[in-house]
Amino acid sequence: MDRLCWLVVTCFSFEIAWSIVLYGQSCIVLVRVLDAWLKYYLTNILQNTTASPRE
């Protein structure tokens, strides 16, 4: 679980740094889309990880 929390924090930190470096403040809409996509993607990973041990 610690590793999973670390992964989530790393992903969000990377997203923030990446969006600032590549897009800056001018593409805030795109950054919001990426943020929403990342949250959706991480939610799927969490669900899959939770479901896997039962098999």
Q: Over the stretch 14-39, which tens digit does the pLDDT of each residue have?
A: 877 777 777 665 667 777 888 888 88
In a domain, 31, yes or no: yes
Higher-confidence residue of 52 and 36: namely 36
The domain of 25 spans 20-50
In a domain, 11, yes or no: no
Report how far Cα 38 is from the mean position of its chain's Cα atoms: 4
Amino acid letter, 11: C
In a domain, 2, yes or no: no
Confidence of residue 55 (pLDDT cuts 50, 70, 90): very low
In a domain, 41, yes or no: yes
Confidence of residue 7 (pLDDT cuts 50, 70, 90): confident
The first and second tokens of residue 55, run together, are 């098999």
In a domain, 5, yes or no: no
In a domain, 13, yes or no: no
In a domain, 25, yes or no: yes
Q: How many domains does the chain have?
A: 1
In a domain, 30, yes or no: yes
Percent of the chain with pLDDT over 90: 0
Q: What is the mean pLDDT of the chain?
A: 75
